[in-house]
Amino acid sequence: MTTPLDQLFTKLRSENRAALIAYIPAGFPSKERCSKVIQTLAAAGVDAIEIGFPYSDPVMDGPTIQEAAEISLRGGTRAADVFDALKVASDTGVAAVVMTYWNPIAKFGIDKFAEAIASHGGSGVITPDLTIEESQAWLAASKAHNVNPIFVVAPSTSDARLAQVSAKTGGFVYAASVMGVTGARSNTTIDAHDLVKRVRSVTTLPVCVGLGVSTREQAKSVAGYADGVIVGSAFIKLLLNEPDEEKALIAVSALAKELAVGVREGR
């Protein structure tokens, strides 16, 4: 049984273009405003939305996403709010996934978490700190509920390891474009191109690049060789820097439209 995410990549392959995937933490800037941001992103042309599960010890996240997660946690965001945000995203018609560290899944209950993802329209879960050696229970639960288990690889990942991780992955392989934490950067390094090429040599799964894209030109560049361009910190910065709700949504919409154009110019 395919998910909306699988269907999206099949469609985009026939159109010969990459996907634009937007990241937003659940409950940020507030629970109510998060829903509006999600709907704004979908209306502006993003192909998929990644809902972040705010966590108190986000080892992979840079300062921008950490700040957003802290605001969300202070606002009382819980697992139920993450699933609600996922439902808002899937209801817009775009493919929707959740990104979370392992601890919240274990705390919530592994099978119960996979079931909740599926029942709220989710296509998959990105688990940046879950190793394939410790993933048996999650792989079983995600398979039972038709949820794609999405693993993360980095430039430091060996070729042998890439093959092992890709074999356990569903939906797409998440390629971290640079060594280090998330955050918008002035340039994306050559690591991403090389990494995508290496991943492609071991799997037919789509490969999506995250960590650093913030401009139309960067989106165009990455879309030239990857199957998906993931953007998070650039949207979050706009929301952090613009307290006026209406102006913030206009800024988010404008950036999403620019990035959507960039992605379509990539090939």
3-class secondary-structure state, position 170: coil
Report, as residue numbers or ranges, the catalytic residues.
50, 61
Q: Provide the pLDDT for residue 188.
A: 46
Radius of gyration of the chain, Cα coordinates, nearest whole angstrom? 17
Please indicate whether residue 21 or residue 57 has the higher confidence score (pLDDT): 21
What's the whole-number mean pLDDT along residues 133-144?
98
**3-state class of 194 per DSSP?**
helix
pLDDT in tens, 22-58: 999 999 999 999 999 999 999 999 999 999 999 987 6
pLDDT above 90 (res 21): yes
Q: According to the model, what pLDDT value does residue 56 have?
A: 84
Q: Report which of 98, 68, 93 is spatially closest to residue 81, judged by C-alpha positions.
A: 98
Residues with Cβ within 8 Å of residue 178, at least 6 apart in sequence: 155, 185, 188, 189, 191, 192, 211, 212
pLDDT of residue 61: 72
The C-alpha angle 254, 117, 147, rounded to 5 degrees, equals 100
The CA distance from 107 to 115, in Å, is 14
Q: How confident is the model at residue 63 (pLDDT cuts 50, 70, 90)?
A: confident
pLDDT digits (tens, 9 = 90+) for 69-90: 999 999 999 999 999 999 999 9
Interatomic CA distance for residues 86 and 49, integer angstroms? 8
Range of the domain at 55: 4-265
Q: Which pLDDT does position 180 carry in this prediction?
A: 47
Is residue 123 a contact partner of residue 171, using CB atoms and an 8 Å limit? yes
Which pLDDT score, from 0 to 100, does residue 1 have?
Answer: 78
Based on the structure, what is the number of domains in the chain? 1
pLDDT in tens, 167-200: 999 999 999 876 444 444 455 444 589 999 999 9
Question: CATH number, domain at 257?
Answer: 3.20.20.70
Whole-angstrom Cα distance, residue 42 to residue 138?
A: 29
pLDDT digits (tens, 9 = 90+) for 201-259: 999 999 999 878 899 999 999 999 999 999 999 999 999 999 999 999 999 999 999 99
Q: Which residues are CB-neighbours of 190 under 8 A, at least 6 positions away? A: none
Residue 231 pLDDT: 96
